[in-house]
Structure 1
Amino acid sequence: MPTYTALTTLTGKGPAEALAEALEALTPEPTGVGVFEIEDGSGLWEVGGYFDAPPDEAGLALLATLHGARSFAVSELPETDWVSKVRRELVPVEAGRFFVYGSHDADKVPEGAEPLLIEASMAFGTGHHGTTLGCLRALDRLVTDGFDARAVLDVGCGTAVLAMAAARIWDATILASDIDEVAVDVAQANVSANGLAGRVRCIEAAGLDHPQLVESAPYDLIFANILKGPLIALADDITGSMRPGGRVILSGILNSQADEVIAVYSRAGNSLEDRCEIGDWTTTTLAKNIGK
């Protein structure tokens, strides 16, 4: 059974949310409505509706006019087994010593690699995105340089691929936290599938004030592969949770946003150690200043 999408853009969060609310009242009703900021500095927001039946294009045109949006682009999507499709298209990823793969590529794990089994799922972090890949490369560089960690935290862990990568290297206290319950369930399943049960603790938490996160501080290494806004908001808490000389690997940052994020973390008491761009995304490694 085909499904349908109707997408448009307009300027400003408020107008986008108003259009989304109006879209929900359209007949036939959409099965879902989404509002997303386009993070390219344009100020544009995307509003999308998802339908099980062909949407009322006249009604869509009227809504676009009333709300000052561009004309809706309507597309028909054929029925697709997306998990099978993703499995076919996600080739293994090599990031230094780490090898991220799906079970269908288990025979391709190189001798001596640190394997990380990640299946297609609802949580972010298969290693293919420039942010996750950048974090794995940053970790690989730290290990090569002789860095050692006894306590590690992966904030906004998604699939927990970064926490598991750390567990492949160090016999340490390793925690993986996410604000999303589904992501935590997926992370725990991945930890078990990789034979790391008991090595990585998966916790549903917003920020760093969860009792288990506080108890395990200070951390030698923190991963925070999230987005610019939360990274900036958490800068003081992340810095305060690290030991002096500890490292934080930050990603989820567009190249154009990197200088601002680095400046915030520098003011919080950290020094830039490494910066890497992969496509549109920047990954940074910072060290907490001694005496902070």
Structure 2
Amino acid sequence: MPPVFPEIWRLRLTISMEAVPVFEEVFERFAEAVTMFMEDRSGISDGDCDWFLEGFSRTPPERVAIVSALSAVAAANGMDAPALEIERLPNVDWVLENLRDFPPIAAGRFFVHGSHWQGRPPVGSFGIEIDAGTAFGSGEHATTRGCLLALDAIAKQGRRIRVLDLGSGSGILGIAAAKVWSAKVVCTDIDPAAVKVCAGNAANNGEAARITAVVSDGYRNRVVGEGRPYDLIFSNILARPLCRFAPDLAAHLAPGGLAVLSGLLERQERMVMANHEKQGLTLKRRVVIDGWATLVIGR
């Protein structure tokens, strides 16, 4: 009898880049995970292309409710409501599928690879073995690469002792920070399955003693509060949650500390920065890859 994997439904919209943040909010209400990517036919990442907004749910989506919400948001923004595609994904082992399509990735001095890869990391690099499993993050997405490049630059400026990885997914960023500085790292995710994957990856990379992985909705878990103030905070989530958590980030950041924000489109930078500037935080550095922005901010 073939193995049975959790049922997953995918919601999908094909829209313009400008419409992504408009309809992203709707998907956040109806899906457990939301992502977006572009199909760049020109090959130059100039934004003149189709964008795909996708949401994933472990319960059957309510089409009527979602279409109604999309129509309301579209009307409020003077747009046409996009066609909603709902697909029940086939019963396959998505972990195995992910591994087949997961080649090693280099980002600065970091070399991320799956356990299926049998080679040796380049001399002088920090090798990180990751199996994303049910957690987001195999290192291939532009936001994760942007964060690793930002971390590489920060690492050359001195040691960071206390690190928080908010929305850690598979734990790549927390593991990278632990390897660079032998730092104590708190990794959080709202998904218990992701936290379990993160803890497993930390152990596989010899960093279990330095990394504490906990379930947390934002900064609410007491472990997060007990570990503050943090010298470095990663927050690779989405633009709207980044804005919402800006006061919490400022309250948990040490004097002279830095935060690495990602999960936002380049056009969302102004909105995200405006919310953090209200907290006395300023932009120190930015990395843009394929239309995705990573921002390094601090006091």
* TM-score, normalised relative to structure 2: 0.73
Paired residues for 1:1-292 under 5 Å: 80-144=92-156, 146-288=157-299
| Counterpart residue type for residue 184 of structure 1 | V
Q: Aligned partners of 2:204, 2:138: CA distance in 1, in Å?
A: 14
| Counterpart residue type for residue 96 of structure 2 | S
Q: Aligned partners of 1:4, 1:140: CA distance in 2, in Å?
A: 36
Query: Aligned-pair distance for 1:221?
Result: 0.3
| Counterpart residue type for residue 232 of structure 1 | C
Q: Aligned partners of 1:171, 1:6: CA distance in 2, in Å?
A: 39
- Native 8 Å contact 2:187 2:211 kept in 1: yes
| SS in structure 1 at match of 2:152 | helix
Query: Deviation per CA, 1:80-115, whole angstroms, max 9, x where unpaired?
Result: 554333212211111111110011224131122111
Runs of 5+ consecutive residues of structure 2 not aligned to the other structure: 39-49, 72-80
Q: Aligned partners of 2:278, 2:115: CA distance in 1, in Å?
A: 44
Q: 1:268 to 1:195 in 2, by over 3 A?
A: same
Q: 1:264 to 1:70 in 2, by over 3 A?
A: closer
Q: 1:102 to 1:270 in 2, by over 3 A?
A: same
Runs of 5+ consecutive residues of structure 1 not aligned to the other structure: 21-32, 52-59
Query: Aligned-pair distance for 1:191?
Result: 0.7
Q: Aligned partners of 1:175, 1:34: CA distance in 2, in Å?
A: 23
Q: 1:46 to 1:208 in 2, by over 3 A?
A: closer
Q: Aligned partners of 2:191, 2:174: CA distance in 1, in Å?
A: 16
Query: Aligned-pair distance for 1:224?
Result: 0.4
| SS in structure 2 at match of 1:277 | strand
Query: Deviation per CA, 1:213-259, whole angstroms, max 9, x where unpaired?
Result: 11111110000001111111110111111111100000001111011
* TM-score, normalised relative to structure 1: 0.75
Query: Aligned-pair distance for 1:174?
Result: 1.1
Q: Aligned partners of 2:35, 2:173: CA distance in 1, in Å?
A: 26
Q: 1:75 to 1:150 in 2, by over 3 A?
A: closer
**How high is the sequence identity, in percent, across the aligned residues?**
35
| Counterpart residue type for residue 279 of structure 2 | A
Query: Max radius of gyration: which structure?
Result: 1
- Native 8 Å contact 2:234 2:259 kept in 1: yes
Count the aligned residue pairs. Answer: 259
Query: Aligned-pair distance for 1:39?
Result: 9.2
Q: Aligned partners of 1:152, 1:48: CA distance in 2, in Å?
A: 30
Query: Aligned-pair distance for 1:195?
Result: 1.1
Query: Aligned-pair distance for 1:35?
Result: 9.8
- Native 8 Å contact 1:160 1:190 kept in 2: yes
| Counterpart residue type for residue 95 of structure 1 | A
Q: Aligned partners of 1:263, 1:71: CA distance in 2, in Å?
A: 32
RMSD: 3.9
- Native 8 Å contact 1:6 1:75 kept in 2: yes
Q: 1:77 to 1:112 in 2, by over 3 A?
A: same
Query: Deviation per CA, 1:2-32, whole angstroms, max 9, x where unpaired?
Result: x99896759997xx89xx9xxxxxxxxxxxx
